[in-house]
Chains A and B, each alone.
Chain A
């Protein structure tokens, strides 16, 4: 599998009066062609900001202040705004969390689809219309001819997300960045959307960066997982290994927090505490205050330590792995 996107030491900060909010603080990972990479983490871990950084869609006062993003051999941060625009929606597409909010409420679906084609290539409105209608049909929208003329509020949430996916895939992108696109949907709709994207990955060899906080989505769907915590990657590896045998206490806690894994009636496990302030995170391991494995060594911020089955940012990853084997 060839590398499609390679992020190295990405730093995206938001400048506030109280100091720089380091939303993404030295993140590195790769997405390969034909692969689904899940980026997992809780709110504020920097996973969405990472996706938006790749798109060049960080709003002020945010800014990519360091690191590189190589997309298919091009350095994204060196591109002009116009070159970046030509890439967006064309070779890199993105879908968002809330399907109720991603489509413009006052424009018809056909307008919102056709403009996506015409922003990137010279095509007549009529040809564009036909392509868009077919795209709607492909994502499983019934009666696409009529639906083209509808407004977003005339669709259900799941249908809207299908429309958004159809729009994202119109220009046959190499990379799809999905920012929790199924979080706002019913479980049954969620399964349909996942199957749809999975089909597109095998069919087109597209690379997918699937941002989510839901490990149960990741399990059957992703190839590899990157776990983020407090603006950095804390664990990375193939999905089966990460779920069955996590080597970072945060990942272990995440997996433990999935209710279905607990016995009926037993108290639900949770990770105590909350994420540290993104302005001043100190020099210790960022997970230390919430970690039951913490020792004095953890006063020193650990590097991402590579192993045969991925990487973990923990001084005691062998102990964590041993513990997770025990739980399993």
Chain B
């Protein structure tokens, strides 16, 4: 419990530092008024708008007003949409979460079996092909992969739609693309594009884990007990490999959400990443700040979840905590 509280305090501190940096950063980049206000507008209109946004006050004053509002749960209105920034972000969040979740699913469901295969037969041609593929996954630029995916599957083969999010279906009160065929067809390419880097990582981690664990005595002892090979691999081996894989996948989830920007831009996916890019273009400061605060929170929450999962998978960690 102390652990959780400490984590939450950390989160608040990080969010605070973050807000200062972003505030000053956006101020340094340019004056939102220059971009947002129609150059044809009269001087009085201009002044009125600047006052309305509070842009006429000194920066530190703007910041403390903002901070005061945040403590009351108000992140300010978007300059562009003139609606609460947080609302706009939460509207876009499901699309991004859906994308990130689909990417994780792809990385795990494909990555672990491929990594196991490559680890159990390290010298086979198929394994070397898998490993070479994973290097490509790492090193080819993500945006280029996305464009190539569109070129191959949408333009040349015509199997999947080019851009956008499909219709959402509802299941157990959750609205998501997962529940309609058309939605899934739209989701496939962007999710795969977002997954590639993590997929390559999961393959390599699983393979390295397999190579490390297989020669250990407890695997030999499991075989000496007469266990079937299936059980040796999927219980004795996999449980040990899952420890690093869960850590990495959990940590990457935040990254996938925060950096879905590229994928969302290529595929015109209406998520938070697309929103933040658009907002940076017009210096819509409330959205940028609120977005980054949300991301900080997501990261901290995910780290917490990973820590908890970790102690479930690895019993040695539980004991150490109890011993403290």
Contacts and interface: CB of A to CB of B under 8 A. Distances in A.
Given A116-B227, A119-B226, 17 more contacts: A85-B226, A85-B227, A88-B225, A90-B226, A95-B221, A96-B217, A101-B216, A104-B236, A104-B239, A106-B239, A115-B231, A116-B226, A119-B228, A120-B226, A151-B315, A151-B319, A167-B221
A216 interface: no
B165 to A, nearest CB: 40
B240 A104 contact: yes
B319 A102 contact: no
A16 to B, nearest CB: 13
B223 A88 contact: yes
B211 to A, nearest CB: 13
A45 B304 CA distance: 51
B222 interface: yes
B224 A89 contact: yes
Contacts of B315: 105-106, 108, 151, 153
A248 B223 CA distance: 37
Contacts of B278: none
A101 B316 contact: no
Interface in B205-222: 215-218, 220-222
A234 interface: no
A296 interface: no
Given A106-B313, A107-B236, A151-B316, A89 B225 contact: yes
Interface of A: 55, 57, 59, 85-90, 93-98, 101-108, 115-116, 119-120, 151, 153-154, 164, 167-168, 171
B45 interface: no
Interface string B227-257: 1100100011001100100000000000000
B226 A86 contact: yes
A90 B226 CA distance: 7
Contacts of B74: none
Contacts of A101: 216-218
Given A106-B239, A151-B316, A153-B315, A116 B225 contact: yes
Interface of B: 215-218, 220-228, 231, 235-236, 239-240, 243, 313-316, 319
B314 A106 contact: yes
Please classify the interface of chain B as helix (H, G, I), strand (E, B), loop, or mixed, using the class held by over half of its residues: helix
B225 A102 contact: no
A161 B224 CA distance: 15
A119 B225 contact: yes
A55 B223 CA distance: 9
Nearest to B217: A101
Contacts of B239: 104, 106-107
A301 to B, nearest CB: 33
Contacts of A104: 218, 222, 236, 239-240
Contact of A106 (B223, B228, B240): B240
A85 B316 CA distance: 31
Contact of B224 (A93, A105, A154): A93
A90 B225 CA distance: 7
A57 B220 contact: yes
A167 to B, nearest CB: 6
30 contacts: A57-B220, A57-B223, A85-B226, A85-B227, A87-B226, A88-B225, A89-B226, A89-B227, A94-B221, A94-B224, A97-B217, A101-B217, A101-B218, A104-B218, A104-B236, A104-B239, A104-B240, A105-B315, A106-B239, A106-B240, A106-B315, A108-B315, A115-B235, A116-B225, A119-B226, A119-B227, A119-B228, A151-B315, A153-B319, A154-B319
A166 to B, nearest CB: 12
Given A88-B226, A119-B227, A167-B225, A102 B235 contact: no
Contacts of B218: 101-105
A106 B218 CA distance: 11
A107 B235 contact: yes
Contacts of A89: 224-227
Contacts of A87: 226
